[in-house]
């Protein structure tokens, strides 16, 4: 089935039986989805079924089997695979998630990057931007308190273009900002309307967002001082996780740091990195 053929189909009226995956169809779905970098075995059958159903509805396909036949004939990395990957990944996040990692970042900024050098930080798997803007606030506050005026930039990356658009806009409901200290909200957000606020220009001028598949590559300039990657690698298959770690390591400047959430490496150490012990986080430094 070609993509042009699917465009001629009218949207399907789905029934519960069309959404369900029996054992045979689930096995077929897992085989097709194995072309993605995800650890498919970790995903609940109901989660897979829901994701496939949403793509069926979007393309006007009547049955999940029709979609699997379609996707099997699409080259990996093409648009539909990106859409499916978006459906199969979790994009929920919140501001100031995992305080131990943020305290570790504050420590690195004060003890290892206290000079005047320009800094480049990378927020990997930024989802809708909450993590990236949290890091921006941590950096801005650390430099403000230290009385240091230095150049810094922060890159947020994700596979999902939908997420990147949201992250770049920096617009959030007020209810999403309740975990942020009131002083920080006043300093780093501006009012849009009674329901929403937007990240202030003071932070936005330091940040940019780009689509990156860390299982295939990192930044070409390899000029990252701190790569911050939380709760992303756990969703990847073993081979994809190793590729991602190697690419993250390669993106760092000599002496740069990789900051992960606990348990994400499964005790595998990428070449060129040394493990540092820091409470509640996985911290690595690229060798000089």
In tens, the pLDDT along 17-47 reads 445 788 999 999 999 999 888 888 888 899 9
Whether residue 176 has pLDDT greater than 80? yes
CA gap 132, 111 in Å, rounded: 21
Strand 252-260 to 273-278 pairing: unpaired
- Over range 52-60, report the average pLDDT: 93
- Over range 54-75, report the average pLDDT: 93
Whether residue 170 has pLDDT greater than 70? yes
Instruction: Give the residue extent of every domain in the chain.
Output: 3-88, 99-286
Nearest CA to 155 out of 231, 230, 223, 257 is that of 223
pLDDT band at 235 (very low <50, low <70, confident <90, very high): confident
Q: What is the predicted pLDDT for the residue at 7? A: 34
Query: Do the Cβ atoms of 230 and 261 come closer than 8 Å?
Result: yes
- Over range 130-152, report the average pLDDT: 94
pLDDT higher at 114 or 192: 192
CATH of domain 99-286: 3.40.50.150
pLDDT band at 154 (very low <50, low <70, confident <90, very high): very high
- Over range 225-251, report the average pLDDT: 91
pLDDT band at 226 (very low <50, low <70, confident <90, very high): very high
CA gap 89, 186 in Å, rounded: 32
> What are the angstrom distances between the C-alpha of 86 and each of 37, 38, 100, 195?
12, 11, 28, 27
Percentage of the chain lying above the pLDDT 90 cut: 60
Instruction: Number of helices (H) and strands (E) in the chain: give both, helices first.
Output: 12, 10
Whether residue 54 has pLDDT greater than 70? yes
């Amino acid at each position: 089935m070609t993509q042009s053929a699917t465009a001629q189909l009218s949207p399907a009226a789905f029934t519960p039986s069309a959404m369900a995956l029996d054992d045979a169809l689930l096995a077929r779905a897992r085989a097709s989805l194995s072309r993605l970098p995800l650890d498919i075995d970790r995903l609940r059958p109901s989660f897979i079924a829901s994701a496939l159903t949403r793509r069926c509805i979007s393309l006007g396909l009547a049955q999940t089997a029709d979609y699997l036949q379609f996707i099997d004939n699409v080259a990996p990395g093409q648009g539909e695979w990106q859409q499916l990957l978006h459906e199969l990944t979790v994009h929920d996040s919140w501001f100031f998630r995992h305080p131990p990692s943020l305290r570790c970042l504050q420590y690195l900024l004060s003890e290892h990057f206290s000079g005047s050098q320009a800094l480049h930080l990378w927020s990997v798997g930024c989802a809708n931007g909450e993590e990236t803007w949290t890091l921006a606030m941590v950096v801005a506050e650390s430099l403000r308190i230290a009385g240091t005026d230095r150049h810094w930039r922060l890159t947020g990356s994700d596979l999902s273009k939908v997420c990147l658009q949201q992250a770049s806009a920096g617009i959030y409901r007020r209810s999403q900002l309740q975990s942020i200290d009131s002083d920080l909200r006043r300093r780093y957000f501006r009012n849009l309307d009674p329901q929403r606020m937007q990240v202030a220009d003071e932070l936005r001028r330091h940040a940019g967002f780009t689509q990156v598949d860390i299982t295939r590559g990192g930044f070409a300039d390899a000029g990252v001082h701190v790569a911050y990657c939380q709760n992303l690698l756990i969703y990847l298959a073993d081979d994809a996780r190793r590729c991602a770690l190697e690419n993250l390591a390669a993106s760092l400047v000599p002496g740069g740091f990789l900051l992960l959430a606990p348990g994400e490496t499964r005790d595998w150490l990428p070449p060129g990195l040394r493990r540092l012990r820091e409470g509640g986080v996985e911290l690595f430094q690229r060798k000089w």
